[in-house]
Structure 1
Amino acid sequence: MRISAEQRQQNETRIRTAMDRLLRGQIPPGGKCDIKTLAREANVDRTAFYGTRPYAHLRAEFERRLQALHTAGDLPDPREAQIARLKNEVETFKQRIIRRDRTIAELTDLSAEALSRLAAQHDEINRLRRQADGAAAVRQLPTRATTVGPCS
C-alpha cells in the first residue's frame, strides 16, 4: 500500500520525535534504545527501516546518534548503563580477588616459614639444654621460690 507524501512526512515527524525521546533516555517499559522500540513508539512498521525502504535513512541517523552517545560515554538506555556499571564492578572485584589471593599466598608462606623457624629454635634450645645437662663445668643455679608480697 502506497502512502501519500503528507503521510510519509507525518511518519517521519513521529519517528524523529520518538528517536529524540529514546536518545534522551525515555525508554518505555519493556523497550530498549533500538530500532524495534523506535518503530513501535512511532507506530511504523519496523521493516520500513531496512534496505531501500522509505525510512532507512532515519535508521542510519538513529544508529549514528546512538553511537555518538555511546562514544561520549552517555548511555540513554538505563539497562545498558547498568550492564556497563556491573561489568566494571565485576572487573574491580576480580582484581580485588586476585590481590587478596596473592596476599593470602604470601601470608601462608610467611606462616610456614615462621613455624619452621620456631621448630628449629625449639630444637636448638632442647639441644643446648641436653648439652648443658651433660657438661660438668656448667653449674646450674638454684631456682628461687616465688613469694607473694614484697621481697625482704
Structure 2
Amino acid sequence: MRITAAQRTENENRIRAAMDRLLRGELPPGGKCDIKTLAREAAVDRTAFYGNRPYSHLRDEFEQRLQSLHDAGDIPDPRDAQVARLKAEVAKLKERLAKSEQAIDELTDFRTEALARLAAQHEEIVHLRQTAAAASRVARLPAARSSTTVIGSCS
C-alpha cells in the first residue's frame, strides 16, 4: 500500500520526535534505545527502517546520533549506562585482584625465604652447641641462681 507525501512527512516527523525522546533518555517501560523501540514509539513498521525502505536514512541518522552520544560518554539508555559502569568496575576489580595476588605471591616467597634462613640459623646454633660441648677447654659457667633478696635500697 502506497502512502501519500503528507503521510510520509507525518511519519518522518513522528519518527524524529520519537528519536529525540529516546536519545534524551525518555524510554518507555520495557523499551531500549534501539530501532525496535523507535518504530514502536513512532507507530511505524520496523521493517521500514531497513534496506531500501523509505525510512532507512532515519535509521542511519538515529544510529549515528546514538553512536556520537556513546562516544561523548552520554548513554541515553540507563541499562546500557549500567552495563558500561559495571564493566568498568569489573575491570578495576580485576586489576585490584591481580595486584593482591602479586602481593600474596611476594609475601609467600618472603615467608619461605625467612623460614629457610631461620632453619639455617637453627642448624648453625645446634652445630655450635655440639662443638662447644665436645671441646674440653670450654669451661661451663654455673647456672644463675635466683636471688630473693633485694640489693640496696635508699631511704
TM-score (normalised: structure 2): 0.91
SS in 2 for 1:33: coil
The residue number in structure 2 matching 1:124 is 124
Q: Which residue of 1 aligns with 2:113?
A: 113
Q: Residue 81 of structure 1 corresponds to which residue in structure 2?
A: 81
- SS of match in other structure, 1:130: helix
Q: Deviations over 1:78-128 (max 9, x none)?
A: 111111111111111111111111111111111111111111111111111
Q: How does 1:12-91 map to 2 (within 5 A)?
A: 12-91=12-91
Matched residues, percent identical?
Answer: 63
CA distance in 2 between counterparts of 1:73 and 1:151 reads 81
Where in structure 1 are there 5+ consecutive unaligned residues? none
Counting only pairs closer than 5 Å after superposition, residues 137-148 of structure 1 correspond to structure 2 as: 137-147=137-147
Q: Which runs of 4+ in 1 moved over 4 A?
A: none
Task: Figure out how many residues of one structure are paired with residues of the other and give that number.
Answer: 152
Instruction: Give the secondary-structure state (helix, strand or coil) at the position aligned to 2:74.
Output: coil
SS in structure 1 at match of 2:121: helix
Whole-Å Cα distance in 2 between the matches of residues 109 and 68 of structure 1?
A: 50
Aligned-residue offset at 1:32: 1.1
Deviations 1:7-64 (A, max 9, x none): 2222111111110011011111211111110000111100111122111111111111
Q: Which amino acid aligns with 2:9?
A: Q
1:8 aligns with 2:35: no
Does the C-alpha gap of structure 1 residues 149 and 97 become closer, same or farther in structure 2, counting only changes over 3 Å?
Answer: farther
User: What amino acid sits opposite 1:142 in the alignment?
Assistant: P
Separation of aligned partners in 1, 2:104 and 2:52: 62
Unaligned 5+ segments in structure 2 are none
Structure 1 length-normalised TM: 0.93
Tell me: CA distance 1:150–1:11, structure 2 relative to 1, closer, same or farther (3 Å). farther
Residues of 2 paired with 1:36 and 1:51: CA distance? Answer: 15
Q: Cα distance, 1:73 vs. partner? A: 1.3
Q: RMSD of the TM alignment (CA)? A: 1.4
Shift of 1:148: 5.1
